[in-house]
């Protein structure tokens, strides 16, 4: 019998990818202030792009902050290092709802920022092993593994259009993982985890059709979004 694809994941490679990339994946926590009370509204993920403090994530992870006109919304970025997790207030640098992309910036020491290694998505192959690191349901730095299931998919965006060039994968991407890293076996970023399609099976929700925005799209849009601030991407 042919072994399941999941069984073909090399333990040493998976561990090496996680160790090399864990510190480059951050958590996003959204808050709302109501008088003296601070209410947590959601969690997400992001990746460190450079030592200037730029964080790339999904637009839908920061949509409340982006639309806020009252000053009640805030988003914190959590960076985990040897000394634990440090949290920093984030401000928006640029947004692209049509591509479901957002660039944030935090004032963190450069020494605490480990930029993710950036690969390409144009040369991905169906069947190639990929790894997702994110914060599903607030569970910090969760690693899942799978394969590229399809390429050049079009998925709905918060802007009401379809985002092309998406990667389909069976590596689990759940609530809270959005904005996290999809990596190849060399720990290079090939996509930004974005969405999962679910179906009901005997009353329970199951998933296996997940999507990431190809890193080529992320890079191209990031150049534009950060370029508007005069900062080199």
* pLDDT band at residue 10 under the 50/70/90 scheme: confident
Using the predicted structure, report yes or no on whether residue 230 has a pLDDT greater than 50.
Answer: no
pLDDT at 116: 96
Of 88-102, 144-158, 160-174, 190-204, the range with the lowest mean pLDDT is 190-204
Range(s) of the chain covered by CATH 2.40.10.10: 5-20+117-220, 22-115
pLDDT at 37: 86
Mark out the alpha helices in the chain (DSSP H runs).
11-21, 63-67, 215-227
pLDDT at 58: 95
141: phi > 0 → left, psi -120 to 50 → alpha, else beta; which?
left
The residue with tokens 């949290």 is 87
Contact indicator for 179, 57 with CB cutoff of 8 Å = yes
Using the predicted structure, report yes or no on whether residue 206 has a pLDDT greater than 50.
Answer: no
Using the predicted structure, report yes or no on whether residue 68 has a pLDDT greater than 50.
Answer: yes
CATH number of 22-115: 2.40.10.10
* pLDDT band at residue 139 under the 50/70/90 scheme: confident
| pLDDT > 70 fraction of the chain, expressed in percent and rounded | 88
DSSP for 5-68, please give it. Answer: GGGGS-HHHHHHHHHHHGGGEEEEEEEEEETTEEEEEEEEEEEE--TT-EEEE-GGGSHHHHH-
Q: 5-20+117-220 has which fold? A: Thrombin, subunit H (2.40.10)
User: Taking residues 132-141, what's their average pLDDT?
Assistant: 89
pTM listed for this prediction:
0.88
Catalytic residues: 60, 100, 178
């Amino acid at each position: 019998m042919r072994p399941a694809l999941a069984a073909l994941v090399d333990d040493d490679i998976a561990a090496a990818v996680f160790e090399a990339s864990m510190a480059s994946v951050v958590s996003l926590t959204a808050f709302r202030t109501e008088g003296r009370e601070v209410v947590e509204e959601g969690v997400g993920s992001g990746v460190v792009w450079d030592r200037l403090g730029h964080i790339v994530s999904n637009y839908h992870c920061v949509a409340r902050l982006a639309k806020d006109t009252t000053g009640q919304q805030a988003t914190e970025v959590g960076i985990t290092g040897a000394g634990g997790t440090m949290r920093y207030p984030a401000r928006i640098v640029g947004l692209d709802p049509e591509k479901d992309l957002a660039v944030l910036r935090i004032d963190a020491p450069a020494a605490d920022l480990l930029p993710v290694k950036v690969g390409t998505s144009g040369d991905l192959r169906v069947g190639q092993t990929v790894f997702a690191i994110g914060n599903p349901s607030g569970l910090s730095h969760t690693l899942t593994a799978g394969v590229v299931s399809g390429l050049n998919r079009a998925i709905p965006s918060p802007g009401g259009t379809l985002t092309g060039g998406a990667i389909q994968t069976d590596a689990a991407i759940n609530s809270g993982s959005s904005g996290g890293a999809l990596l190849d076996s060399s720990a290079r970023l090939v996509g930004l985890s974005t969405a999962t399609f679910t179906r009901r099976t005997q009353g329970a929700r199951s998933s296996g059709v997940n999507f990431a925005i190809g890193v080529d799209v992320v890079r191209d849009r990031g150049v534009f979004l950060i370029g508007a601030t005069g900062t080199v991407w």
